């Protein structure tokens, strides 16, 4: 890196690329950091589109060959925002070239790829992180603090759902997220991975075994006319098979003794981005809902009985994670801010050598749980992670 | 009274009469009390109807002449559930006859009547109470406890509304509650009186001055075919003038330094029984909503900053007011239970000689505020209570 | 039965007995019914206590031998409010004697008993019902109506929890509900049975297969000094083993294609009576929370997109189930009212010969699910009901 | 302006300056607009600080003399983010120099200044707008759409509060917002102005008359050691008098027949940024809370009675105002986004000549209401705006 800059090359520019761009553009305007992010270049498959995206999102240059980003000496970080089928190839090349890597989740579409990535990351001098951004929602980080501080005592129950509804309509087209060869899995990998990572992070416990079911409610969908960006789609030209799960549900036993229920679905009509986590411990409970991400509910069972209740903490105070850099109390932040916080921690760790989590090893841990879920769903039995 | 019984005679058997009957019938089944309520007789204007009501509601006898109840030596309590225009006459007769009196709110339709009632009550050996039943909703009683215990410190703000919507439709008929000669006033006396009483009770401060407006949005309504019971009405036979307020709004200064906003309306579309009170003090706040009457929200500003939040206390614990006699925690109670609690306290005070509030003097205090509101609305200026 | 009365004999007088007594006492005061409930006698083990309970709850007589109730010609209905280990014996005797039977849930502690009860009920002329009272919470009955009317279309997801926390404290004593020989199972039978019955009722689908886990977090507890009533306990005299589950979690596949997650626990710190059900269908969703039992949330996906949202229906309108008999809109009811509604439907069906559900056969269906859950938890594999 | 750029010069760089900077930096990355904002220079009083702010917030240059910004030909827009005592001087100079002007609210500290600004704006060729940013919160803009489309019918009630608590502690210092000579007024102008503007905007009705009270609960506060930025303060060096209101409450009559209650306070313990508005109309109601700014509650009284309820619309759909440019449904935005939307509309109007509201005339209208509130509070009587 240059003396003061951390020079970023991003691969992919759709939904996640836009969110990451917003983060790189904003992070140094809000946080005081030893390095300043510079948005050097973005890579994509179609020259016109990637050029337009670079202009729109604020990248200095664009390219149709991500390998040129890896090869450039004036790029320090490769930020991978592509579908899961290309994560491994790009990340391994980048690490081999000595670049720091920020890779979107889930880490990879296969366990073999994920293992190779974790090994390469462990062996590399450069830094790497997987983009489970919800760890950096202030309320989620506060959950972690509350568990770590012992406020909950022994954890008994974890209840985690990630509910969406964007494909309830059978006429919604067969976008890449519904094709196994591109996305690896459906709701499980896309959003189930988030609640696996987040509950393991918050509780400090790993999922040890699972019993699962997966379901595809709508098995055939119209083909999109051309590659669709983001979560949307375009005009159809025939039908194709949905090769991923619409929903994945599982029970879990954690290493530390807690038990849990998990559900990821794209068929929860009316729930748009409903990541909800509740944790019950012997001394208290926590509840979080991503659709109200500035709030955390906390129940303190050590208060006198008649004074107990779930307390809605508005997580906008300067004493809350990341918030001292933003606005006064009550001036709420949004979903995108989690990416800015992720960028903040990434830059800080690169500059200072501090810990950077979730590591590729952490993300491999999530993949192992997802793999156990799929094996359990096939076998119809409890499966060890 | 007999050795073990407290013998009740009730006047009026419509909405309030049904609620009071449920209370007298239930109170000794739930609470241990030194006297057992006996539902001796009910009085009403129409022989057939009052007889049917007695049968339905569980009264031993019925009569069309309330004076016979006052005269009977085997009746200890006169429970007045009629419209406000007859409260004074009945209550004064009952007190003169040595009966204990429970009188529905508002105490009377005129200040003169209310003053006479308060004087008679103060001079009587018998006990009396006005039926501001919401003091006996457990969460409201808990609010009082929290203020009294100093949890809020000096009170700064009171915010009180009572929102209903049952006459939004201009075709709703001209029932007795919309005619000044029967009801005294409209939303102001019917529901505004509740929030005046409740905020004065909870804060321990009296309203000292007000600035008000009243409004009648729909000035002419169809006449009901015959006397309508409860809040409902029947087929119309022409139109008549609405002679009461549809809504009353006022600002208030309390004797103790707090300032407040008050609103009572029957035109808050979608709000069915929306009595809401919020109180802000220097050390904390309380918020209550009658539509969720098993809950109280409490904010404790003396906790560490990042742990503060509005705490939803589910007011169903044995340590909460009245609740040890009911069901296990979380098994919620309803609106009618406030009347059973009122009956409990009435019986207990009669038996033990303990304090019995709100007294007629307290209720006169409410009337004085309502009168100041009406005077202020007429004068367009601040008015002293 | 006599010409106008339905004469009740109740067995057991603790928590459930008190709730049933409130229902029998109230039902004819609120609903117009062809028969009037008469509370003839209550049976219990301890003469003093059952006599006191009779006095407190309003029963004309008491006895220490429930068989005398079954034998009396002046009793029409046997209402069974005892722990599950005596349900079968009492119900079979009552049916054999030609009595109508209302039996608390779960139906029995063993499948054999439940089968015998369902057979006897099917063969009897008398009527019978199992006390899954939550079907008669108006909002739950409204859920059923909404599903039946097609508002949700094909049902995709069921999410059901019943969360309590009354034994989180390891010092809480070993009451009868924690001993398998009395209660059959723990959270599973006590509260899990409710969400099995209610989701099957609301969706009109039966659970076909399950994968489950059960857990006992606190395996040894202080012995209560003497038999404890209700959910509470008294002073301890040594320790004993907890022989039931503290929590039961399971995945389910319904016969009609829906998938579900279920959880019943007594270790959800801060959740007092947290029965929550969410149902997602292709055209809409419903969500219900027993702690806010006057509300139902409904999402209508057939409205224009930007107008969609979860709608909080305050279920207190005269057009809602059971509500026309109670108070005006917004005057909320409580938990106990579900028992009054149950009594209403029981009396009505006895008088008119109408359908009476949940039948013992329905309740056996619940038992079969609970049995499959226990077998699945033992086997660690999916199990057919 | 240059062919493609709109060149901005900003005056002031504290709380509002940071929010505006975030908006100018982001707007063209999210919205497609005919002009690109260029952050040319920022002006402030202290050379070191303004230079640091320019670096932090992303301005190309800084200056200690705002007049140089007005004089520069390469600046098209003057963005005024200073306290209210300098608005008029800067805005008049900028308009005189032919610059477009975006001026923070409230428009000015005196009516004379505000009138002069509105006159100058009306006479100028350049465009101008006052920064009542909450009009651009999507849910607030949606409220306006719902009223305009007739969904509510005649409006009966407006209920508006803006509740904060940042000066509840008497030890909080005497920052500039508590000194009349800098801020003009206290809660009234700072936050009361927002609810006046927003309710007038949403309802399309103007406030015609008011009755008000103002209160200063803590009349003396520690002096800050030096000029404090944002809402915070620093070490005290003596005490000074608070010369503005801590709270302002008023009743209002709108020109179109609605009645309203308003409250702005900095003493609502636990409420951090609690701008709440409820509007009741003859056909429906709307409710909004800035602390949950991605949600709008809508009650449609034209649905069948038993289906009515307040509907929580998650205002994140592409069909909602401003949202098609942001993230997928359910990916919530924050407080700062309202400034980006304001920048979007400002740029668009400058480029296309379209309408740009709230105009200085609109903002003068707000000032006239605030002035009537202060006069009413002094006189103790209803006052015409």
| Residues of chain C found within 8 Å of residue A310, distances taken between Cβ atoms | 270
Number of A/B CB contacts below 8 angstroms equals: 48
- Chains with 3 or more CB pairs closer than 8 angstroms to D? A, B, C
CATH class in words for B136-334+343-384: alpha beta
Interchain contact A336–D (C-beta under 8 A): yes
pLDDT of A233 reads 52
Interchain contact A305–B (C-beta under 8 A): yes
Topology annotation, domain A5-134: Rossmann fold (3.40.50)
- Nearest Cβ partner of B307 from A304, A306, A313? A313
Q: What digits encode the pLDDT tens for the residues C199-228?
A: 999 999 999 999 999 999 999 999 987 544
Helix (H) or strand (E) segment spanning residue A141: helix A138-148
Contact C319 D311 (CB under 8 A): no
User: Which strands make up the sheet holding C61-63, listed edge to edge?
Assistant: C61-63, C36-43, C5-11, C77-80, C100-103, C128-130
Interchain contact D56–B (C-beta under 8 A): no
Contact C250 A251 (CB under 8 A): yes
**Other CB atoms closer than 10 Å to residue C2's CB: what's the count?**
11
Contact C331 B334 (CB under 8 A): yes
Q: Mutating which of D253, D259, D272 best tests the B interface, going by the most B Cβ atoms within 10 A?
A: D259
Residue D66, classed as helix, strand or coil, is helix
Burial class (CB in 10 A: 0-12, 13-18, 19+), B216: middle
Q: What digits encode the pLDDT tens for the residues D184-196?
A: 999 999 999 999 9
Q: What digits encode the pLDDT tens for the residues D298-325?
A: 999 999 999 999 999 999 999 999 999 9
Fold matches, D5-134 and D136-384: no
Interchain contact C247–A (C-beta under 8 A): yes
Q: Is the pLDDT of residue D342 over 70?
A: yes
pLDDT of B229 reads 46
- Distance, CA of A298 to CA of A310 (rounded, Å): 5
Q: What digits encode the pLDDT tens for the residues D234-259?
A: 555 799 999 999 999 999 999 999 99
CATH entry, C135-334+356-384, from 1.20.1090.10, 3.30.360.10, 3.90.1150.10, 3.40.140.10: 3.30.360.10
Q: What digits encode the pLDDT tens for the residues B39-73?
A: 999 999 999 999 999 999 999 999 999 999 999 99
**Beta-bridge partner residues of A278:** A159, A287
Contact D268 B280 (CB under 8 A): yes
Interchain contact B337–C (C-beta under 8 A): yes
- Distance, CA of D124 to CA of D93 (rounded, Å): 12
Burial class (CB in 10 A: 0-12, 13-18, 19+), B111: middle
pLDDT of B51 reads 97
Contact (CB, 8 A) for B212 and B240 = no
Put simply, the chain B residues between 157 and 176 with a CB less than 8 A from any chain D CB are 157, 159, 161, 163, 165, 168
**Beta-bridge partner residues of B36:** B5
Contact B56 C19 (CB under 8 A): no
- Chains with 3 or more CB pairs closer than 8 angstroms to C? A, B, D
Contact (CB, 8 A) for D144 and D202 = yes
Is the bond leading into D106 cis (omega within 30 degrees of zero)? yes
Contact (CB, 8 A) for D316 and A272 = yes
Residue A279, classed as helix, strand or coil, is strand
Interchain contact D145–C (C-beta under 8 A): no
Tokens 């069915």 appear where? B272
Interchain contact C298–D (C-beta under 8 A): yes
pLDDT of C3 reads 58
The ranges of chain A with pLDDT < 70 are: 1-3, 226-236
Contact D317 C310 (CB under 8 A): no
First to last CA, chain D: 39
Interchain contact C151–D (C-beta under 8 A): no
Section B101-115 average pLDDT: 96
pLDDT band at D154, cuts 50/70/90? Answer: very high
Q: What digits encode the pLDDT tens for the residues C272-308?
A: 999 999 999 999 999 999 999 999 999 999 999 999 9
Name the residue with higher pLDDT: A101 or B1.
A101
Contact D310 C307 (CB under 8 A): no
Q: Is the pLDDT of residue B129 over 50?
A: yes
Cα within 13 Å of Cα(D234), Cβ side: 6
Residue of D nearest to A333 (CA): D334
Q: How far is CA D106 from CA B343, D162, D190, in A?
A: 54, 15, 7
Interchain contact C239–D (C-beta under 8 A): no
Q: Is the pLDDT of residue B161 over 60?
A: yes
Sequence length of chain C is 385
pLDDT of A231 reads 55
**Other CB atoms closer than 10 Å to residue B220's CB: what's the count?**
11
pLDDT of D1 reads 44
Q: How far is CA B365 from CA B130, B201, B205, in A?
A: 12, 11, 12
Q: How far is CA D40 from CA D5, D62, D73, D82, in A?
A: 11, 9, 12, 18
Interchain contact A181–D (C-beta under 8 A): no
CA distance A100 to chain B (A): 35
Domain ranges within chain D, ordered by starting residue: 5-134, 136-384
- Distance, CA of C155 to CA of C258 (rounded, Å): 6
Contact (CB, 8 A) for A287 and A310 = yes
**Maximum distance among all alpha carbons in chain C?**
65
- Nearest Cβ partner of B213 from D168, D253, D301? D253
Q: Mutating which of C156, C166, C172, C310 best tests the A interface, going by the most A Cβ atoms within 10 A?
A: C156
Report the CATH superfamily, name and number, of domain A137-384.
Dihydrodipicolinate Reductase; domain 2 (3.30.360.10)
Write out the E strands in D168-266.
Answer: 207-215, 220-224, 236-241, 247-254, 259-265
Residue D305, classed as helix, strand or coil, is helix
Put simply, the chain B residues between 57 and 76 with a CB less than 8 A from any chain C CB are 57-58
| Residues of chain B found within 8 Å of residue D159, distances taken between Cβ atoms | 161, 263
Interchain contact D331–A (C-beta under 8 A): yes
pLDDT of D316 reads 98
Interchain contact A146–B (C-beta under 8 A): no
Residue of A nearest to D313 (CA): A270
| Residues of chain C found within 8 Å of residue D308, distances taken between Cβ atoms | 311, 313, 317
pLDDT of D3 reads 58
Contact D270 B285 (CB under 8 A): yes
| Residues of chain C found within 8 Å of residue A380, distances taken between Cβ atoms | 211, 381-382
Q: Is the pLDDT of residue C362 over 80?
A: yes
pLDDT of B235 reads 53
Mean per-residue pLDDT over chain B, rounded = 95
Helix (H) or strand (E) segment spanning residue B157: strand B155-163
Contact C57 B335 (CB under 8 A): no
| Residues of chain A found within 8 Å of residue C187, distances taken between Cβ atoms | none
Q: Is the pLDDT of residue D17 over 50?
A: yes
Q: Mutating which of D145, D294, D300, D309 best tests the C interface, going by the most C Cβ atoms within 10 A?
A: D309
Interchain contact A304–D (C-beta under 8 A): no
pLDDT of D309 reads 98
Sequence length of chain A is 385
| Residues of chain D found within 8 Å of residue C308, distances taken between Cβ atoms | 311, 313, 317
Contact D211 B251 (CB under 8 A): yes
pLDDT of C229 reads 46
| Residues of chain B found within 8 Å of residue A292, distances taken between Cβ atoms | none
Residue of C nearest to A152 (CA): C269
Tokens 């904060």 appear where? D164
pLDDT of B228 reads 46
- Tell me yes or no: is domain D136-384 CATH 3.40.640.10: no
CA distance C142 to chain D (A): 10
């Amino acid at each position: 890196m240059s003396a003061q800059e951390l020079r970023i090359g991003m691969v992919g520019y759709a939904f996640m690329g836009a969110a990451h761009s917003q983060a790189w553009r904003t992070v140094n305007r809000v946080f005081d950091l030893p390095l300043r992010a510079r948005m050097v270049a973005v890579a994509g498959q179609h020259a016109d589109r990637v050029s337009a995206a670079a202009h729109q999102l604020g990248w200095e240059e664009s390219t149709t060959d991500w390998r040129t980003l890896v090869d450039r000496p004036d790029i320090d970080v490769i930020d991978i925002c592509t579908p899961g089928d290309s994560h491994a190839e790009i990340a391994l090349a980048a690490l081999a070239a000595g670049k720091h890597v920020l890779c979107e989740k889930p880490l990879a579409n296969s366990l073999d790829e994920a293992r190779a990535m974790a090994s390469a990351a462990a062996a590399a001098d450069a830094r790497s992180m997987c983009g489970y951004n919800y760890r950096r929602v202030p309320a989620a980080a506060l959950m972690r603090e509350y568990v770590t501080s012992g406020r909950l005592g022994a954890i008994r129950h974890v209840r985690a759902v990630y509910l969406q509804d964007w494909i309830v309509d059978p006429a919604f087209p067969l976008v890449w997220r519904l094709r196994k060869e591109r996305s690896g899995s459906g709701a499980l990998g896309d959003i189930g991975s988030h609640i696996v990572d987040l509950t393991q992070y918050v509780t400090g416990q790993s999922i040890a075994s699972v019993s699962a079911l997966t379901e595809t409610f709508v098995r055939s969908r119209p083909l999109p006319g051309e590659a669709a960006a983001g979560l949307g789609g375009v005009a159809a030209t025939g039908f194709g098979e949905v090769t991923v799960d619409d929903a994945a549900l599982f029970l879990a036993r954690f290493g530390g003794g807690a038990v849990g229920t998990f559900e990821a679905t794209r068929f929860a009509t009316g729930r748009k981005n409903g990541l909800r986590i509740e944790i019950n411990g012997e001394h208290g409970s926590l509840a979080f809902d991503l659709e109200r991400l500035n709030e955390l509910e906390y129940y303190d069972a050590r208060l006198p009985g008649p004074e107990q209740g779930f307390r809605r903490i508005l997580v906008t105070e300067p004493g809350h994670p990341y918030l001292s850099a933003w606005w006064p109390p009550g001036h709420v932040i949004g979903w995108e801010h989690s990416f800015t916080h992720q960028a903040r921690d990434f830059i800080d760790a690169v500059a200072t050598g501090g810990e950077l989590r979730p590591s590729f090893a952490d993300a491999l841990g999530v993949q192992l749980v997802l793999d156990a879920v799929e094996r359990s769903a096939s076998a119809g039995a409890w499966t060890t992670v």
